[in-house]
Amino acid sequence: MSYESKMLQQLAMPTRKEVERALLRTLLKHDGVIKEFGFGEEIVDEIAGEFGLSKDQRSAFLETIYRKQNRVKKAFLWHRLLFRAADALAKEDMVSRPTRTLQLTRKREWMLTEKGFDEALKLCNIPTARKEFLPTKSYEVQKIVKRLIESRKPENYNPCDRDKKIIKTTREFTLRNRAFRQAVIEAYTYRCAVCGLKLKSPDSLLWEVEAAHIVPHYFFGRDDVCNGIALCHLHHWAFDVGWFTVLDDYRVQVSPQIRRLPTDCGKLEGFEFFRMLQRGRVKLCLPKRDEIYPHHNAIRWHRKNIFHQQRV
Ligand SMILES: [Zn+2]
């Protein structure tokens, strides 16, 4: 038995398999990414806390002798165990290594892969059907998000893609759909662009905000960030049915149909849902980079085809 194995046994440390499972659960809890296991990193303590590790278990270290330099290197046993578990997950293609993730997000983090994501859902008893709505990052989806976020603003942008395949079963479609949603809600920092609402479910797994297509999916609207706006459920619905649109200067315009709205409609406990938009000349809260602002061709299409502008 190796020196390391003996120490693990003597200190009754968790097994590598147990740590692998804890890592997958922790990754899911942290939206699919956790930092490298450096000294003083919170994540190292968080997982130790899950196992209820004692002070001795957390601070025990191994001494390795570097023969060449004839010096002793000390490494925390718990850090090594975490690394070995993460390394085993990477070999099984359940996570991407920090060196690989770095090329994608410029952060040294362990990130779930699609395979690891599925396994983490199973471990947490979360139905796979919820996968599409979770903000969890996966390496495969993040590759598409990177492409979407970094794309340049096309001059003659056509927000409709007639060749768009409306096939809901292909893996590529699902990944692209999730990438669109993630890229849009991240670009708008998880807030509704109209009212600023930022809210998570009580279990912290779901964001309230949705990624709305400006040219809708059923009109072959492209899955590009500049054909999207992050909106809360209520504003998403109101935008999709044409209650409001967006002008070229990104101010919100409410449909004149508002005049026909019965006085008991469109109110939340005395709060005038649409009239508030009209009066305040609300302007969209936009992403940091103007390259991914809603494209004028997309919002013009919405004004022409979805918005109810007919005066009554
Ligand atoms: Zn809203």
Domain ranges of the chain: 3-137, 154-305
The lowest-confidence range among 32-46, 137-151, 162-176, 190-204 is 162-176
CA–centroid distance, 272 to ligand 1, in Å, is 13
CA–centroid distance, 212 to ligand 1, in Å, is 12
Q: If pLDDT is split at 50, 70 and 90, which confidence band does 165 have?
A: low
Burial of 195 (0-12, 13-18, 19+ CB in 10 A): middle
User: What is the reported pLDDT for 298?
Assistant: 95
CA–centroid distance, 121 to ligand 1, in Å, is 30
CA–centroid distance, 247 to ligand 1, in Å, is 17
List Cβ neighbours of 264 (8 Å cut-off, separation of 6 or more). none
In this predicted structure, the answer to whether residue 51 has a pLDDT above a threshold of 90 is yes
CA–centroid distance, 30 to ligand 1, in Å, is 25
CA distance 229 to 192: 8
Q: Which value, in Å, is the radius of gyration of the alpha carbons in the chain?
A: 25
Q: If pLDDT is split at 50, 70 and 90, which confidence band does 153 have?
A: confident
CA–centroid distance, 234 to ligand 1, in Å, is 6
CA–centroid distance, 231 to ligand 1, in Å, is 5
User: What is the reported pLDDT for 85?
Assistant: 97
CA–centroid distance, 59 to ligand 1, in Å, is 48
Q: If pLDDT is split at 50, 70 and 90, which confidence band does 135 have?
A: confident
CA distance 126 to 132: 12
The lowest-confidence range among 63-77, 123-137, 254-268 is 63-77
194: DSSP letter: T
CA–centroid distance, 152 to ligand 1, in Å, is 27
Whether residue 239 contacts residue 229, with contact meaning beta carbons closer than 8 Å, is answered with: yes
CA–centroid distance, 236 to ligand 1, in Å, is 7
Taking alpha carbons only, the member of 228, 236, 169 closest to residue 209 is: 236
CA–centroid distance, 47 to ligand 1, in Å, is 36
CA–centroid distance, 209 to ligand 1, in Å, is 8
Taking alpha carbons only, the member of 145, 27, 39 closest to residue 96 is: 27
User: What is the reported pLDDT for 169?
Assistant: 57
CA–centroid distance, 205 to ligand 1, in Å, is 20
CA–centroid distance, 261 to ligand 1, in Å, is 20
User: What is the reported pLDDT for 24?
Assistant: 98
**Strand duo 271-272 + 210-213: pairing:** unpaired
User: What is the reported pLDDT for 128?
Assistant: 86
Distances (CA, A) of 67 to 5, 62, 64, 70: 21, 15, 9, 5
CA–centroid distance, 89 to ligand 1, in Å, is 40
CA–centroid distance, 227 to ligand 1, in Å, is 18
Tell me the one-letter amino acid at 36. Answer: E
CA–centroid distance, 220 to ligand 1, in Å, is 25
CA–centroid distance, 293 to ligand 1, in Å, is 17
Hey, what are 265's tokens?
Answer: 């409609």
CA–centroid distance, 302 to ligand 1, in Å, is 18
Look over the chain and give the mean of its residue pLDDT values, rounded to a whole number: 89
Distances (CA, A) of 203 to 24, 29, 207, 244, 291: 17, 9, 10, 32, 34
Give the tens place of pLDDT for each residue, 209-238. 999 999 998 888 999 999 999 999 999 999
Hey, what are 85's tokens?
Answer: 């578990």
Whether residue 112 contacts residue 137, with contact meaning beta carbons closer than 8 Å, is answered with: yes
User: What is the reported pLDDT for 95?
Assistant: 98
In this predicted structure, the answer to whether residue 279 has a pLDDT above a threshold of 90 is no
CA–centroid distance, 198 to ligand 1, in Å, is 9
